[in-house]
Amino acid sequence: MVKGFSLTQIALHWVVGVLILFNLIFSDDMTALWRQIRQTGPMPTTTGAWLHIIVGVLVLALVAWRLTLRFTRGVPAAPAGESHALKLAGDAGHILLYVLMIALPVTGLLTFYGGITALGDLHGGILKALLWIVIALHVAAALYHHFILKDGLINRMRKPG
């Protein structure tokens, strides 16, 4: 078992985090274009929509890289002394984050380039809402470790080990 995350794993965590938040916050141009295409038929992709697509595809590629590293290099074990329930919650949360980080761009691509309108509802509806919720819980958990448990867990995503 490795002692900590590598520099690459740490960099990927923060870069992907910023890109995901970017697409969660700046999606209006994409939504507007998709609405217009459904109402009046095909039209050129706007700059704002391109940004949404490129950022989303970048997330997909970087998450694939992250998962490869997770399976080849590995990740550190849960902090010593952590309860079984907390460890399970952490593992479940991380798996859900990975699933959503893949599901969001894939459903987006299938909607826009595959024309599957129902997946667009999923993409901008339940999947988006779930991602916000799991990110909020993830950050809350990190703060709980830092301020209540005081086990230095956040340092794992700051310094390579």
Distance CA 35, CA 113 (A): 14
Q: In whole angstroms, how close is the CB of 148 to ligand HEM at the nearest point?
A: 14
The pattern of x and - marking residues 15 through 54 that bind ligand HEM according to CB under 6 A reads --x--xx-xx--x--xx--x-----------------xx-
Contact status: 135 vs ligand HEM (CB under 6 A): yes
Length of the chain: 161
- For residue 73, the 8-state DSSP code is T
122-131 burial: b if 16+ Cβ within 10 Å, else e: bbbeebbeeb
Distance CA 70, CA 152 (A): 21
CB contact at 8 A, 78 and 90 = yes
User: Under rule CB under 6 A, which residues in 49-88 are in contact with ligand HEM?
Assistant: 52-53, 56-57, 59, 70, 75-76
How many residues bind to ligand HEM according to rule CB under 6 A?
42
Tell me which of 46, 89, 128, 151 binds ligand HEM, using CB under 6 A.
128
The pattern of x and - marking residues 81 through 120 that bind ligand HEM according to CB under 6 A reads ---------x---x--xx--x--xx--xx-xx-------x
* Residue 148, token pair as written in the block: 């209540």
Residue 98 class from Cβ within 10 Å (0-12 exposed, 13-18 middle, 19+ buried)?
Answer: middle
Binding-site ranges for ligand HEM (CB under 6 A) = 13, 17, 20-21, 23-24, 27, 30-31, 34, 52-53, 56-57, 59, 70, 75-76, 90, 94, 97-98, 101, 104-105, 108-109, 111-112, 120-121, 123-124, 128, 135, 138-139, 142, 153-154, 156-157
